[in-house]
Amino acid sequence: MGIEFETLNEGDCLLCGTAGSLTGEHKIKASLLKEEFGSRKMVMAGKDVPKVLQSPRSKHVHFTAKICRECNSSRTQAADRAFDRLHQGLKKLRTEGRQLTNSNNHPNFEMSTRDSADYFRYFAKVICCFLAEVGGPRSRSLSQFALGLNDKNPIFLEISKDEQYEVIRSERKTDGFAKHGGLKFRFDDKKKWVHSIESSLSVGGIHYEFWVQLRWLAKLELHFRYGQLVREARSKLEQY
User: Directed axis angle between helix 77-95 and helix 30-37, to 10°?
Assistant: 30
Establish if 13 lies at the interface with Zn ion (CB under 5 A). Answer: yes
CA distance linking residue 145 with residue 126, whole number of Å: 12
CB atoms within 10 A of CB 227: 10
CB of 76 to Zn ion, least distance (A): 9
Shortest Å, Cβ 61 to Zn ion: 21
- Collect all residues with Cβ–Cβ distance below 8 Å to 148 and sequence separation of at least 6: 75, 76, 78, 79, 118, 121
Q: 144 or 199, CB closer to Zn ion?
A: 144
Phi, psi of 46 (to 5 degrees): -130, 160
What span, in angstroms and rounded, lies between the C-alpha atoms of 159 and 91? 12
Please report which helix (H) or strand (E) contains residue 171, including its range.
helix 165-171
What is the contact mask toward Zn ion in residues 76 to 105, using x (rule: CB under 5 A)? ------------------------------
Q: By CB under 5 A, is residue 68 in contact with Zn ion?
A: yes
Sole window of 43-51, 62-70, 184-192, 228-236 interacting with Zn ion (rule: CB under 5 A) = 62-70
CB of 149 to Zn ion, least distance (A): 11
Q: Report the alpha-carbon distance of residue 57 to residue 33 in Å, rounded.
A: 10
Least Cβ distance, residue 96 to Zn ion (angstroms): 39
* Alpha helices (H) along 55-95: 69-72, 77-95
Q: Which stretch binds Zn ion (CB under 5 A): 60-68, 96-104, 195-203, 207-215?
A: 60-68
CB of 70 to Zn ion, least distance (A): 6
CB distance 178 to 33 below 8 Å: yes
If binding is defined by CB under 5 A, does position 44 make contact with Zn ion?
A: no
Q: Binding of Zn ion at residue 132 (CB under 5 A)? A: no
- The residue range among 11-19, 152-160, 210-218, 228-236 that interacts with Zn ion, by the rule CB under 5 A, is 11-19
Name 235's Cβ contacts closer than 8 Å, sequence gap at least 6.
none
Q: Which of 5, 8, 16, 145 binds Zn ion (CB under 5 A)?
A: 16
- If the CB atoms of residues 65 and 159 are measured against Zn ion, the closer one turns out to be 65
Stated length of the chain: 240
Q: Work out which of 8, 33, 71, 100 binds Zn ion, going by CB under 5 A.
A: 71
C-alpha span between 51 and 121 (Å, rounded): 28
Considering the complex, what minimum distance in angstroms separates the CB of residue 129 from Zn ion? Answer: 12
- 138 versus 207: smaller Cβ distance to Zn ion: 138
Q: Closest approach of Cβ 17 to Zn ion, in Å? A: 7
Nearest to 222 by CA among 158, 136, 118: 136
By the criterion CB under 5 A, which residues form the site for Zn ion? 13, 15-16, 68, 71
